[in-house]
Amino acid sequence: MPQYILKRVLYMIPTLFGLSLIAFMIIQLPPGDYVTSMIASMQDSGANVDPRQVERLREIYGFNDPIWLQYLKWIGGILTRGDFGYSFEWNRPVADLIWERMGSTLAISVAALLFVWAVALPIGIYSAVRRHSVGDYVFTFIGFIGLAVPNFILALALMYMSYRYFGQSVGGLFSPEYVDAPWSWGKFVDLLAHLWIPIIVIGTSGTAAMIRVIRANLSDELRKPYVITAKAKGLPEHKVVIKYPLRIALNPFVSAIGWVLPELVSGVTITAIVLNLPTAGPLLLRALISQDMYLAGSFILLMGVLTLVGMLISDLLLALLDPRIRFT
Amino acid sequence: MTKPDLGTEGETRDDVALSVENLSLDFKLRTEILHAARDVSFKLRRGKTLCLVGESGSGKSVTARALMRIIDSNGIIANGRILLDDPKGKIDIAQLDERSKDLLAIRGGRIGLIFQEPMSSLSPVHTIGSQIIEALRLHRNMSKAEARAETIELLRQVEIPNPDKMIDRYTFEFSGGMRQRAMIAMALSANPEILIADEPTTALDVTTQAEILDLIKRLQVSRGMAMLLITHDMGVVAEVADEVAVMHYGRIVEFGSVDDIFYEPKHDYTKRLLNSTVKLEQNRRSTKRDSEVGTGKVILSARNLSKLYGASTAWFGGSTHAIKAVDDVSFDLHAGENLGIVGESGSGKTTLGRMLLRIIEPTSGSVMFNGDNGPLDVTKLSKRQLRDYYSEVRLVFQDPFASLNPRMTVRDIVGDPLRVTKKIGGKALDDRVCELLSLVGLDPSTRERYPHAFSGGQRQRIGIARSLALDPKIIIADEATAALDVSIRSQVLDLLLDIQKRLGLSFVFISHDISVVRYFCDRVGVMHRGKLVEIGPTEEICTAPKQLYTQSLISAVPNPDPRNKRMLHRTRFKD
């Protein structure tokens, strides 16, 4: 097993190298650079641009270097100093920017994920065990509505409702008076009061999809002969379902962790913009629009790393859960 | 344990352990109600075996599961009583609440169940031990350590080698026979008075089947259990039954002692069932004189065929052990001859059949085909040349359900080889399809239907019609009748023989079922671990085999004659 992990980590090195190349290439793809887009927006607002100053900026930022040198400088900084470069737009190191947003991003994403599991798991099991019952149809109906309604519509509707009926300030994670206040009980309650909207908005479509998958997986497993064996042993039905088929039906979810991790960081950008959440999604979008190349590149690289780590974790977990899978 | 000791008290009590009275089971389907069992009555006696016989769909499994109240949610017990003998009077299982403690105590505690698929009837992600320990702790007040010790003892009783190590293994590390043994250990863990065995050996090889039946029988006798054995195989019935109930369309049509059923059957259906079984015990082609066997022109010959699996090296060094699936096999097939290939699962017979067609590339050796255009080295043909070869040599598959495309009509399925080779089209193709369908005994007017509208036997006929479409010289039939009921099986075999007579075909007939091969083939080759251990005329192989392995294989086949039980005196083969 340790040997297997070592092997997998070694495999990750060339993959990461390729990933960083691709990330760098993606941010170089659009014509022009940060300075171009800065000039464009300055000219839009009527300001005069001195060509010499532009040239000087290019010099400072290193845009005149050949691409491979730019890449080497960037990746060298990451590897040797943990320096992900400098955000032109925010005038701050990229690493600071990302870490700052990471806390709230993870809080919201993990809360939404827990919400999805807490709601979807019991409903999915119920739907599978009592397939074609009235309850199953009701949940299926609600589930499809959840899948079909776009997240931002739901976000707008919930924001309107919370403003109209609960008199809450909408958007963001805190009411204005708490934004810069130190942590206190009041701030925590205020956070909870704001948090439910993004959680429900982000969670609904996931919940709906999850119910369908659990229902499908589990009803396949319920028909397997080993379920009858367990029943014939004299095991009560709820124990039969939880111990045997559910255990196997959940395996596919473990293998999906690889997708969940990057999703946690960059997912639900539109919802975050609509709800004005201080998460990483909007930051990434802004960086891509303004060609803030080191910020965007670091984001893409970070998501790649998270995908790889997620895949490794899910492979290891799956092997622990399912004895049929061997390390080779 | 609250249960009374059966050995001492059994004599004073009624020896009927369980009696079923007028049991009817209904299943609510989309448009109608299916009466899966109607007015079924029988008694299970301590120490005796009742065999419930019938073909697929006759309601025997459902009836057996109803005794433990394990039926699908759309099914109900419409009528009747299931009386379980109890010191406090009789318990009617049919009246118990589905979730009651009483019922849970009966399931596994007083009635044990073994069933057919040893591959999937145990959980793949729990160890064998944990599954048996769970059953023990449900019914017998045991600590974990006691239950573990008892489990090891049980595994020893079902003759699993190294039980103290095997207890921590997973099901996929067990062979089919071992899994069935573990299943038996689990069913017996709580000392049930009644054992229900639902086709316990259908998925196993004959030699394994003989061992498992042997084991069940011995355990039953030593524990004085009543047993309900469900099977479709009259040979098994004759070997183990005391009493027999014959089931047909949800009713028990005949009931009697095993001797009566075999020697004085009264109901027509019982007679039909017996006839089709006994018929397979003879060789349909034995009218041919021995000297005629294997005298025609050699049409296909295999020389030193071998197939190695897993000989490649892995990425990170270290080559895995190679498995010789087929090891140096040579034989000749004569024109107009039926050659049988028998062997247990994993003996390489299917791989051999596929190599003859080069669906699987042989690792070494050659196949020569001697058609109308002179000899042809099949192993050297290019992809394009193989196509012509494929119109001469066709394959018939085992599973009539999976081998037909469900989205194609029968006409498209049967006509597909003709369309692919672009020989004929339009009206001529349609006529040819009609001709083929009537050749295999199907009504040509059904050719616009889809496969799901046909029964298993009919589907196999469609598959045969497809294989005949291009006028082949040789048909390779891989377990072509394994998925069919006995009566249908003999019909399909007769059909094949009939077609052979008319079209002058040769067959390579691959099967694990010795009686089928005996009925159908002129010569038989016996395969064991990739090697062809013996080849010769059918009668000789079946009555006086020379090799020890063949002897053990032949003697393990159940004999459908209760007065002459063959299995118990079988030759055992150890290597």
**A214-231: per-residue pLDDT in tens?**
899 898 888 888 998 898
Using CA coordinates, name the residue in chain A closest to B195. A232
Do B304 and B165 sit in the same domain of this protein? no
Q: Are B479 and B490 in contact (CB under 8 A)?
A: no
Q: What is the ipTM metric for this complex?
A: 0.76
Express as a percent the part of chain A with pLDDT over 70. Answer: 98
Mean of per-residue pLDDT scores for chain A: 83
Are the beta carbons of B135 and A225 separated by less than 8 Å? Answer: no
Decide if B534 is inside a domain: yes
Give the count of domains, chain B.
2
Do B325 and B185 sit in the same domain of this protein? no
Using CA coordinates, name the residue in chain A closest to B190. A233
Q: How are strands ordered across the β-sheet holding B506-511?
A: B393-396, B474-478, B506-511, B338-343, B523-528, B531-537
- Residue B293 binned pLDDT confidence (cut-offs 50, 70, 90): low
CA neighbor of B249 nearest in space, from B37, B77, B62: B37
Could you tell me the two tokens for B369?
A: 């085909």
Q: How far is A163 from chain B (nearest CA, A)?
A: 48
**B296-330: per-residue pLDDT in tens?**
788 899 999 998 886 554 444 444 567 788 989 99
Chain A neighbors of B131, CB-CB under 8 A: 229
Are the beta carbons of B117 and A235 separated by less than 8 Å? Answer: no
Decide if B421 is inside a domain: yes
Largest Cα–Cα separation, chain B: 82
Decide if B203 is inside a domain: no
Domain that holds residue B454: 290-312+321-559
- List, in sequence order, every residue forming a beta bridge with B479; answer none if it has no partner: none
Q: Are B305 and B330 in contact (CB under 8 A)?
A: yes
The pLDDT score that the predictor gives to residue B321 is 61
The pLDDT score that the predictor gives to residue B10 is 41
The pLDDT score that the predictor gives to residue B320 is 53
The pLDDT score that the predictor gives to residue B284 is 66
Statement: residue A267 has pLDDT above 90: no
Distance CA B546, CA B535 (A): 10
The pLDDT score that the predictor gives to residue B30 is 79
**B375-390: per-residue pLDDT in tens?**
888 888 888 888 888 8
What domains can you pick out in chain A, each with its CATH number? 2-94 (no CATH), 97-321 (1.10.3720.10)
Could you tell me the two tokens for B72?
A: 């699908």
Are the beta carbons of B112 and A232 separated by less than 8 Å? Answer: yes
CB proximity list for A275: less than 8 A, separation 6 or greater = A155, A159, A170, A171, A172, A197, A198, A201
Could you tell me the two tokens for A259?
A: 């997708």
Q: Which amino acid is at B539?
A: E
Are the beta carbons of B183 and A231 separated by less than 8 Å? Answer: no
Chain B neighbors of A248, CB-CB under 8 A: 123-125
Do B167 and B296 sit in the same domain of this protein? no
Q: Does A248 touch chain B (CB under 8 A)?
A: yes
Express as a percent the part of chain B with pLDDT over 90. Answer: 33
Are the beta carbons of A248 and B123 separated by less than 8 Å? Answer: yes
**B403-434: per-residue pLDDT in tens?**
899 889 999 999 998 888 877 878 889 999 99
Alpha helices in A91-236 (DSSP H): 94-129, 134-148, 151-166, 185-222, 225-232
- List, in sequence order, every residue forming a beta bridge with B81; answer none if it has no partner: B21
Eight-class DSSP state of B310: S
**The domain spanning residue B391 has which CATH number?**
3.40.50.300
Of the three residues B168, B189, B210, the one that is the final residue of a domain is B189
Using CA coordinates, name the residue in chain A closest to B127. A323
The pLDDT score that the predictor gives to residue B53 is 92
The pLDDT score that the predictor gives to residue B43 is 92
Q: Are A255 and A242 in contact (CB under 8 A)?
A: no
Chain B neighbors of A328, CB-CB under 8 A: 314
- Residue B4 binned pLDDT confidence (cut-offs 50, 70, 90): very low
**Facing residue for B125 by CB, picked from A232, A237, A247:** A247
The pLDDT score that the predictor gives to residue A43 is 78
Q: Measured at the alpha carbon of residue B120, what is the angle toward residues B119 and B121, in degrees to the nearest 5? A: 105
**Facing residue for B125 by CB, picked from A7, A229, A323:** A323
Express as a percent the part of chain A with pLDDT over 90. Answer: 5
Q: Are B475 and B504 in contact (CB under 8 A)?
A: no
Q: Does A247 touch chain B (CB under 8 A)?
A: yes
Decide if B444 is inside a domain: yes
- Residue A137 binned pLDDT confidence (cut-offs 50, 70, 90): very high
Distance CA B115, CA B200 (A): 5
Statement: residue B9 has pLDDT above 70: no
Chain A neighbors of B107, CB-CB under 8 A: 231-234
Decide if B205 is inside a domain: no
3-state secondary structure labels for all residues of B121-139: CCCCCCEHHHHHHHHHHHH
Q: How far is B113 from chain A (nearest CA, A)?
A: 6
Statement: residue B292 has pLDDT above 60: no
Query: Taking a contact as any Cβ pair under 8 Å apart, which residues of chain A between 201 and 230 contact chain B?
Result: 224-226, 228-230
Can you tell me the mean pLDDT for B194-199?
A: 92
Are the beta carbons of A235 and B316 separated by less than 8 Å? Answer: no
Strands (DSSP E) contained in B397-545 are 474-478, 506-511, 523-528, 531-537
SS3 state of residue A43? helix
CA neighbor of B277 nearest in space, from B559, B565, B575: B559
Chains A & B: contacts with CB separation below 8 Å: 78
Element (DSSP H or E) covering residue B453: none
Using CA coordinates, name the residue in chain A closest to B67. A232
Mean of per-residue pLDDT scores for chain B: 85
Decide if B409 is inside a domain: yes
Statement: residue B1 has pLDDT above 60: no
Between strands B474-478 and B393-396, the pairing is parallel
- Residue B11 binned pLDDT confidence (cut-offs 50, 70, 90): very low
CB proximity list for A11: less than 8 A, separation 6 or greater = none
What are the angstrom distances between the C-alpha of B219 and each of B113, B193, B237?
Answer: 14, 12, 17
Q: How far is B131 from chain A (nearest CA, A)?
A: 8
Distance CA A218, CA B39 (A): 35
Are the beta carbons of B108 and A232 separated by less than 8 Å? Answer: yes
Decide if B164 is inside a domain: yes
CA neighbor of B5 nearest in space, from B87, B83, B68: B87
Can you tell me the mean pLDDT for B187-207?
A: 88
Of the three residues B160, B189, B218, the one that is the final residue of a domain is B189
Distance CA B223, CA B215 (A): 12
B371 φ/ψ sector (left φ>0, alpha ψ -120 to 50, else beta): beta
Burial, B231: exposed, middle or buried (Cβ in 10 Å; 0-12, 13-18, 19+)? buried
Do B297 and B440 sit in the same domain of this protein? yes
Chain A neighbors of B125, CB-CB under 8 A: 247-248, 321-324
Interface test with A, best of B71, B123, B184, B321 (most A CBs within 10 A): B123
Can you tell me the mean pLDDT for A22-34?
A: 79
Do B497 and B364 sit in the same domain of this protein? yes
Of the three residues B129, B158, B189, the one that is the final residue of a domain is B189
The pLDDT score that the predictor gives to residue A145 is 86
Decide if B168 is inside a domain: yes
